[in-house]
Amino acid sequence: MAALARLGLADDRVQSLVGELNGILEHMDVLQQVDIGGASLDPDATHGMRMRDDVPNPIVLSRAREEFAPSMRDGFFLVPRLATHGTAESADDEGDE
Amino acid sequence: MSDSLLLSRSVAEVAADIASGRLPRDAALDASLAVMESANAGPGGLNAVLWSDAEGARAGVAALTLNPEQRLAGIAVAVKDNIATRTMPTTCGSKILEGYVSPFEATVIARLRAAGAVIPMKTNMDEFAMGSSTENSAYGVTRHPMDHTRVPGGSSGGSAAVVAAGVTRIALGSETGGSVRQPAAFCGIVGVKPTYGRVSRHGLVAFASSLDQVGVFGTTVDDAALGLQVIAGVDPLDSTTLDVPVADYRAARGATGDQPLAGVVIGRPVEYFPESLDPRMRALLDRSADHLRALGAEVRDVSLPHTSLAIPVYYIVAPAEASSNLARFDGVRYGLRVEGDGLRGMYEATRSQGFGPEVTRRILLGTYVLSAGYYDAYYKRAMAVRRLIADDFTKVFAGGVHVLLTPTTPSTAFVAGSRSDPYEMYMSDIFTATANLAGVPAMSQPIGRIDGLPVGGQLLASHFDEATMFRVGYALERALGTEAHT
């Protein structure tokens, strides 16, 4: 479990954690006795919550798009020319376009 | 005017005086900074304030363009350390985020600033909001302002202690299972958890995304209502906020007449008044119910039959979500990095040294209940029972009840270090976690004392009906008068 959670734990800590977690999980066993037949898992059931319309909204950025790139032209990010589209020398000559 | 006298007036009055020029623009901030000093709210004292920025706050006040629309003109607001600010660190009380300064600010911070408020301090908390005592912070325990041997509650214990000590009259906290209401009850102040979707979570560091909400502390009901009024509302940066009109939460503040609660039905869920409840706490709740009746409300017993299952459900759902949300803290993108054997070794070394014991415990618990073979038995079943808990509330409110009255906590503030068993600590949330699971609004307000320690009464309402909750809160506060604090 620690490996799944990407936690490096010393052996002695593992032993104490096993005891603590087992103790906590014992209290969860009560849920196995509950009749959940009446619990609707229908995703459309709102259970009193109001839901917004399921329509796409524009993605609002917390910072202006221009702040993410050093330079832009005509609404597009300017990036270094790919090496496959010319020699490295010519790419350097032509700048970051 | 002395600092304490200025801070004895409501936020609305002081802000109006500053906005109109009747008070100097820096009067409220100076008072808060002076009390922060005299109350010894920082490290070595209450340890409620982790980071402060007096200079930045003074510059903020100086730069204000005052106008009467600013409801928090010149008011200092303390903010829990898991809400993103550009001017101070945002560490979530964790070593793994030590020194981290967010490149952006939370929507709630932007709204406070737009209303004329300044943020001079960030407050201590249980690491990643996991705890009920503010003993789990990597930066030390926060002390109860009235009794330093006791805890202020948690996880927003720093914000509660700051308001209770008179440093600020409004503070922000966050709620996942009661982390505003429980410390508010322990410290004798007002704490509000809004409806899920009422306040933007953009910039609130995620713990359990389906439960988290930003909450508000206030010295009085009016301070808390004003604070919520400013931060509430839909936000395009948080798709779980809803475009529901924000009511005037302060509409009932001046309600006069003998029967201001005529037509209001108050429910007392029998499950919140078990035989084991301290009889002195029961008596204080009875006194509050008597006041509400005298104000014209009908008080009736109701049942929320799945209440006792809230803690087992909460401690499956919240750790499950936390184990996913906290996966991002791996030494690559934020804060602490501890080198290890290869990339995986670095992840494991960083996380094991960066997270404290309670966070480690909950990440493991969450990983376990989501793992193949246990998912159906734990997580899926917990989600089904969560629906039953939510349905309990829906049925009671559909039955004509407007507001529920319960104790906020099963005990008063306990002695620091006295609860070493994790599950015993989890039971501190037994009366509060239900509101988070169901998404309904709830608040705690002082209703009296036991052995000199504050007791909170909890009011819960149906989704987006904070206005009725505040209406009852205002009336109860006025009726109790000094009884609320004696």
pLDDT tens figures, B113-169: 999 999 999 999 999 999 999 999 999 999 999 999 999 999 999 999 999 999 999
The better pLDDT of the pair B167, A37 is held by B167
Q: What is the pLDDT of residue A81?
A: 81
The residues of B assigned a catalytic role are 80, 155, 179
Point out the residue among A6, A9, A63 whose CB comes nearest to the CB of B347.
A6
Q: What is the pLDDT of residue A47?
A: 62
Last residue of a domain, one of B362, B380, B398: B380
Q: Within 10 A of B373 (CB to CB), how many other CB atoms are there?
A: 7
Q: What is the pLDDT of residue A92?
A: 47
Residues of chain A that touch chain B, judged by Cβ-Cβ distance less than 8 Å: 1-2, 4-9, 17, 20-21, 23-25, 27-28, 30-32, 34, 36, 38-41, 45, 47-52, 57-58, 60, 62-63
pLDDT (average), residues A50-63: 76
> Does residue B284 sit within a domain?
no
- Give residue B54's pLDDT band: very low, low, confident or very high (50, 70, 90): very high
- For residue A90, pLDDT over 60 is answered with no
| Set of chain B residues whose Cβ sits within 8 Å of the Cβ of A16 | none
B325 plus B466 within the same structural domain: no
Distance (Å, whole) CA B173 – CA B82: 8
Minimal C-alpha gap between B302 and chain A (Å): 18
Q: What percent of chain B has pLDDT over 90?
A: 95
The residue of B348, B401, B421, B462 whose CB has the most chain A CBs within 10 angstroms, and thus the best one to mutate to test that interface, is B348
- For residue B460, pLDDT over 60 is answered with yes
Q: Select from B207, B195, B110 the least CA-distant residue to B154.
A: B207
B81, B124 Cβ separation under 8 angstroms: yes
Last residue of a domain, one of B336, B358, B380: B380
Predicted TM-score of the model (pTM) = 0.93
Q: What is the pLDDT of residue A91?
A: 44
Point out the residue among A34, A45, A60 whose CB comes nearest to the CB of B385.
A34
Q: Do A24 and B355 touch (CB under 8 A)?
A: no
| Set of chain A residues whose Cβ sits within 8 Å of the Cβ of B394 | 47-48
Q: What is the pLDDT of residue B36?
A: 97
B213 plus B347 within the same structural domain: no
- For residue A87, pLDDT over 70 is answered with no
> Does residue B326 sit within a domain?
yes
What count of CB pairs under 8 Å joins A to B? 132
ipTM, 2 dp? 0.88
B209 plus B78 within the same structural domain: yes
B432 plus B344 within the same structural domain: no
Q: What is the pLDDT of residue A65?
A: 80
> Does residue B255 sit within a domain?
no
Q: What is the pLDDT of residue A83?
A: 74
Q: What is the pLDDT of residue A51?
A: 78
> Does residue B127 sit within a domain?
yes
| Set of chain B residues whose Cβ sits within 8 Å of the Cβ of A11 | none
B306-310 CB contacts, 8 Å cutoff, 24+ apart: B306/A34, B306/B385, B306/B388, B306/B389, B306/B392, B307/B269, B307/B271, B307/B272, B307/B389, B307/B392, B307/B434, B308/B271, B309/A30, B309/A31, B309/A34, B309/B385, B309/B388, B309/B389, B310/B389, B310/B430, B310/B433, B310/B434, B310/B437
> Does residue B276 sit within a domain?
no
- Give residue A95's pLDDT band: very low, low, confident or very high (50, 70, 90): very low
- For residue B274, pLDDT over 50 is answered with yes
Minimal C-alpha gap between B377 and chain A (Å): 7
Distance (Å, whole) CA B44 – CA B485: 28
B451 plus B334 within the same structural domain: no
Point out the residue among A4, A50, A58 whose CB comes nearest to the CB of B242.
A50
- Give residue A80's pLDDT band: very low, low, confident or very high (50, 70, 90): confident
- For residue A44, pLDDT over 70 is answered with no
Distance (Å, whole) CA B431 – CA B310: 9
Distance (Å, whole) CA B251 – CA B27: 27
Q: Name which of A1-15, B1-15, B59-73 the model is least confident about.
A: B1-15
Point out the residue among B104, B239, B363 whose CB comes nearest to the CB of A63.
B104
Which residue is it, tokens 């006025």?
B478
Q: What is the pLDDT of residue A55?
A: 81
Last residue of a domain, one of B339, B355, B380: B380
The residue of A61, A62, A68 whose CB has the most chain B CBs within 10 angstroms, and thus the best one to mutate to test that interface, is A62
| Set of chain A residues whose Cβ sits within 8 Å of the Cβ of B423 | 23-24, 27
> Does residue B332 sit within a domain?
yes
B426 plus B373 within the same structural domain: no
Point out the residue among A20, A23, A31 whose CB comes nearest to the CB of B382.
A31
Domain range for B23 is: 2-238+413-485
Distance (Å, whole) CA B218 – CA B162: 10
Q: For chain B, what is the mean pLDDT?
A: 96
User: What is the number of domains present in chain B?
Assistant: 2
B105 plus B209 within the same structural domain: yes
pLDDT (average), residues B103-108: 95
B348 plus B422 within the same structural domain: no
B336 plus B442 within the same structural domain: no
Minimal C-alpha gap between B118 and chain A (Å): 21
Q: Do A39 and B388 touch (CB under 8 A)?
A: yes
Q: Do B315 and A24 touch (CB under 8 A)?
A: yes
Class of residue B331 by CB neighbours under 10 A (exposed 0-12, middle 13-18, buried 19+): buried
Q: What percent of chain B has pLDDT over 70?
A: 99
**Sign of CA pseudo-dihedral B201, B204, B208, B209:** positive
Tell me the CATH number at B21: 3.90.1300.10
B151 plus B62 within the same structural domain: yes
> Does residue B296 sit within a domain?
no
* pLDDT tens column, B280-334: 999 999 999 999 999 999 999 999 999 999 999 999 999 999 999 999 999 998 8
B363 plus B451 within the same structural domain: no
> Does residue B396 sit within a domain?
no
Q: Do B388 and A17 touch (CB under 8 A)?
A: no
Q: For chain A, what is the mean pLDDT?
A: 79
B419 plus B374 within the same structural domain: no
Q: What is the pLDDT of residue A96?
A: 45
The better pLDDT of the pair B436, A10 is held by B436
